[in-house]
Structure 1
Amino acid sequence: MMVPNWRGLLLRLALPDGYQGGLAGLSSDDEQKLIGMLFDQLGEFLAARESADVLLKIYDAYLKWLRH
């Protein structure tokens, strides 16, 4: 199974209906969604890393995502 890189993950989160083009071909609205999702995810990560068992939570969330 191929695991997407961070760009692919952000595209999946920001544009759940799918997007087949390259990043350069994004509409202005889609680009804004992608930038918003990037900062949302970064904020979640920074907040989560304050937790004592952060690594376990990150791996658990990732495994749940893979199974989904």
Structure 2
Amino acid sequence: MNPVVLNVIVDEFVELNEHFAGVATGEGLAPLLLAMGTVLVIFSLAVFGALTVGAVGSLFTRA
């Protein structure tokens, strides 16, 4: 993946996180819930990526 594209994705993600953190600040457990949601999204993307890599790998290997 091109480093510029990855940098843009990371920048957008950081900006999104800052925006929602600003909205949620001062509401008790909201920042913690925001962090948990972020971790859940990252975990889901990682699992999807791993399954996709596995599926593509199985297309080119013989079992």
State the TM-score bracket (shorter-chain normalisation). 0.3 to 0.5
Which structure's relative contact order is higher, taking Cα pairs within 8 Å and 6+ residues apart? Answer: 1
The TM-score, its normalising length taken from structure 1, stands at: 0.44
- Give 1 or 2 for the bigger CA radius of gyration: 2
The TM-score, its normalising length taken from structure 2, stands at: 0.47
In proportion to residue count, which structure has more helix? 2
